[in-house]
Amino acid sequence: MELELRHLRVVCAVAESGSVTKAAARLGLAQPALTAQLNRIERALGGPLFERDRRGSRPTSLGELVLARARVLLPVVEDLRHEAARLSGTGAATVRYRIGSVCNSMVSGLVRRLSESKPDTSITTQASWSAQELVELVAVGRLDFAIVGVCGDAPPPSEHGLEWRLIAVDVVGVLLPEEHPSARGDEVTLADLAGSRWAAAPGDGCFTECFVAACGRAGFSPEPMYETDLRVCIDLVQSGQAVALCQPTFRELSGMRALPLAGAPLRWRHLLGWHPEAPADAVADQVHQYALAAYTDSLRYSPPYARWLAAHPRFGAHPTPA
């Protein structure tokens, strides 16, 4: 059997879904048919790509190798297809909105608006912990837009000549267990959390240094921070082992509260970036408007922060260019 791109998509779907059954549902195939196809792919490549048991499917060493190559090759081929369509005069039907973001709650709302207003376009998303990585992908044409956050008044990455538009300014928030003594109001004082262990998602920029400086101004040195993904942050908070730094628009979960820090000792600016010489420039104003609306929608899930913003008008959505 000759290996084809569709086979690589199958391997990626199984890895991303965690099981053949879920991958089959995602691809619109019957589970036995996908299993048979995966078996043929494994024979063509010379060995098993996944360890499969009742807990799901996990890549083998060979599977990891194939996945690494597929995750490079498939986007390149997709880019080639779109560029060929554009140059051959059929590109009008393949307008793309490739959006990269760093842990941002407004992305789902932005995607929904784009999907509703442009149902025939290609909309894809990519997540990263690094704003610098996303900016580089926009610069080389792998992404059309980047939604990133920068700490305080720090500038966004500037070496690639991107245009930037301010979406919103947030005070940094804290995710607390519901029973925490500081979780009763609509904001929390940083000094009241002096003895806490902290957790946060990783990222680049100056945020960690700014956080330590803000704690110093509040009269204490923070405990060492757990730097981990969002799921582990939530687990640490739910189990009472840490409090987590977060966006105050974080959708509240059972047993937890997301509250802004009183006095705004730390600020976070949400920015939309694109390259001015790329096709994205023609639709950037509209994407910015959708991002603003998506940010405003996200406030529905955080009533304490919505009330806080009403009393602090210099924060929140910014409809004018940065």
Q: Is residue 10 part of a domain?
A: yes
Q: Is residue 110 part of a domain?
A: yes
pLDDT in tens, 72-129: 888 888 777 766 655 555 444 345 799 999 878 789 899 999 999 888 788 899 988 8
Measure the CA dihedral 109/135/283/107, to 10°: 0
Q: Is residue 90 part of a domain?
A: no
250 and 116 in one domain? yes
Tell me how many domains the chain contains. 2
Q: How far apart are CA 40 and CA 37, in angstroms?
A: 5
Question: Domain range spanning residue 59?
Answer: 5-76
Please choose, from the candidates 9, 60, 71, 2, the residue with its C-alpha nearest in 3D space to the C-alpha of residue 34.
Answer: 9
159 and 62 in one domain? no
Span of 76-80, 134-138, 311-315 with lowest mean pLDDT: 76-80
Q: Is residue 113 part of a domain?
A: yes
45 and 116 in one domain? no
pLDDT in tens, 196-205: 999 998 887 7
Q: How far apart are CA 51 and CA 218, in angstroms?
A: 51
Task: Assess whether pLDDT exceeds 70 at residue 282.
Answer: yes
Q: Backbone phi, then psi, for 192, in 5-degree steps?
A: -70, -15
Percent above pLDDT 70 for the chain: 94
- Among 76, 105, 123, identify where a domain stops: 76
118 and 66 in one domain? no
165 and 102 in one domain? yes
Q: Is residue 274 part of a domain?
A: yes
The structure tokens listed for 258 are 């997301």
257 and 169 in one domain? yes
- Give all strands (DSSP E) within 54-192, no chain letters: 56-59, 96-101, 122-127, 145-151, 163-171, 173-177
- Among 31, 48, 76, identify where a domain stops: 76
184 and 100 in one domain? yes
- Among 18, 43, 76, identify where a domain stops: 76
Residue 320: band (very low, low, confident or very high) from pLDDT cuts 50, 70, 90: low
194 and 58 in one domain? no
What is the overall mean pLDDT for the chain?
87
Task: Assess whether pLDDT exceeds 60 at residue 285.
Answer: yes
Span of 18-27, 92-101, 253-262 with lowest mean pLDDT: 92-101
Q: How many CB atoms lie within 10 A of CB 145?
A: 26
